[in-house]
A and B are shown apart, each in its own frame.
Chain A
Amino acid sequence: MAVKYADGVVLGADSRTSTGTYVANRASDKITPICENVWMCRSGSAADTQNVAAYVSRLAQEHAVSVSSAGADADEGIKCDVKLVANITQKIAYQNKDRLQAGMIIAGYDRKLGPQVYGIPLGGAMMENPFTVGGSGSAYIYGWCDDTFRENMSKEEAQAWVKRAISLAIARDASSGGVIRLVTIDATGVSRQMIQPIEQPLCDEELPAVKRS
């Protein structure tokens, strides 16, 4: 999921990748950098989204470099317009709609339009939203998110909101689990967090997590 707050965006995801009932990866990273200030949340087929992300990353960075001096300095990360990245992703998703099973969320911060969140679901539509959720666990939290979302939250409020939303999804969706990953993007840069089950809010009828010594 991703949400716009006053000065930036917060992206959040769980870390469970499953093949059937088997948890193939309990600590996967579903939030991928496209360029320094634009990141993508991936859901659906891991293979499809990884490859789409790779294409989008290359195309967006080439575009950014060709129209500006972005990245001229080796130490400087390449920055792109969020809308550009979203459009490129949308084109790929739409033109290959019969072949892909990829639900993606593009979110980031640029100086032109500030914080933005774009949802690109199956089929290749693109919509800008104040917040958007995706993946199998999203069905369980639409109501809660609709009920508790406020525009222009502070950074801490937004992070806590995303953390709570994902923990509620993990509580009820068997395909979601593991750690919660948060990525916060604003004008100053990007910060990443990993929240272990022991630090996640406790849900009804569950027992508090215990750390292995």
Chain B
Amino acid sequence: MIPRRTAHERVIGPGVVPHGVDPEHDALYRGRTARGTVTDEVLRGVRGRPFTIDGKAREKAPATRTQTPYVTGTSALGLKYAGGVLLATDTLACYGSTKRYKSVERVKRVNDKCAIAFTGELSDFAYVCDLLEELTTEDFCEDDGTTRDAEEIYQYLTRVMYNRRSKFDPLWNSFVVAGYDAKGEAFCGTVGMIGTHYADDHVAAGFGNHIARPIFREFYKPDLTEEEAVEIMKSALYACVMRDKQMMNKFQIAKVTKEGVSIGEPFAVPTEWGYEKFYNPTKFSPGGW
């Protein structure tokens, strides 16, 4: 977010302390502007110091906005194919161990060239979406015929995440950024909550790294057709939903193609539970699991 100095109610977030509220800070500037000595009246609304909620005490202590996540989304998966990039998530937000919100859209369109998916804290993701919305609005207003592409969004998010981490106030998210880069080639990258980032033919955030990436490595080849890519994605989602307790069998796949971003309707993957050994698993080991 490009910092813009505004004076507003302190409870709604970081901003600028208006003149007159912090005498110590004002004293530093009184009488020392380029225009010469100024009176208090002129200073009001012109100078101020940046602040965080709770003012002075907060500045001395490390900021602690999100240190434990509360409402969380689990894995997000990204896979390149011939026609673009696929992004897949489930639609569940867990409150600890409770499956609380079951129709959460965890994939969002940023602009025609980029979509992102998240894992981690839902409120921090909403905040990041607001930041990206500001970028998109700026693009629109500049009206110069280009929009920020996926690689730029990815780099922007990296800087945001890293800077927050450096202030001990991380955004508790990992993102998968998918779309097209400046050269017009498909782009698929991930940004972690401490600013770690990389781009690859297929990426995952969260538990998907352990469960889905091996499947992608096994079956990925350059220039997959859309059907093949969706098949691979569905088998990765199947593995994830069987083995991740915080996932539910209700997924959305978003496609980023040259035409733009389309987020599909929620669907369920087929599952198999009727294996013979599932019926009586402890037949030869009573008391076993």
Least Cβ–Cβ distance between B265 and chain A, in angstroms? 10
Is B274 on the interface with A (CB-CB < 8 A)? Answer: yes
User: Which residues of the other chain, A, contact B242 by a CB distance below 8 angstroms?
Assistant: 23, 26
Q: Which residues of B contact A177 (CB under 8 A)?
A: 245
Residue contact B272 to A207, C-beta cutoff 8 Å: no
Beta-carbon contact of A29 and B281 below 8 Å: yes
Q: Does B3 contact A (CB under 8 A)?
A: no
- Contact-size category for B: 35 or more
Cβ distance A208 to chain B, nearest Cβ, rounded Å: 7
Interface string of B73-104 (1 = CB under 8 A from A): 01000000000000000000010011110110
A52 nearest in chain B by CB position:
B287
**Given A27-B281, A32-B287, A194-B279; A206-B244 close (CB under 8 Å):** no
Give the residue name and chain of the A residue nearest to B248 (CB). A206
Cβ-defined contact, A174 with B278, below 8 A: no
- Complex CA distance for A66 and B268, rounded to whole angstroms: 55
Instruction: Report the bound CA distance from A204 to B204 in whole Å.
Output: 28
B interface majority secondary structure: loop
Q: Give min CB distance, B289 to chain A, whole Å.
A: 4
Q: Verify if B250 is at the interface (C-beta below 8 Å from A).
A: yes
- Is there a chain A Cβ closer than 8 Å to B50's Cβ? no
**CA–CA, A115 and B60, complex, Å:** 65
Instruction: Indicate whether A187 reaches chain B with its CB closer than 8 angstroms.
Output: no
B227-254 residues at the A interface, CB under 8 angstroms: 242-246, 248-250
Assess whether A50 is interfacial by the CB under 8 Å rule: yes
B interface vs A, CB < 8 Å? 74, 94, 97-100, 102-103, 207, 242-246, 248-250, 266-275, 277-282, 286-289
CB-based closest 9 A-B pairs: A205-B102, A212-B270, A196-B273, A212-B272, A27-B278, A207-B268, A210-B270, A28-B289, A53-B287
Q: Enumerate chain A interface residues (CB-CB to B < 8 A).
A: 15-18, 21-23, 25-30, 32-33, 46, 50, 53-54, 57, 136, 140, 171-175, 177-179, 192, 194, 196-198, 204-213
17 contacts between A and B (CB under 8 A): A21-B207, A22-B244, A23-B245, A27-B278, A29-B280, A32-B282, A46-B289, A50-B289, A172-B98, A172-B100, A174-B97, A174-B245, A174-B246, A197-B271, A198-B271, A211-B272, A212-B272
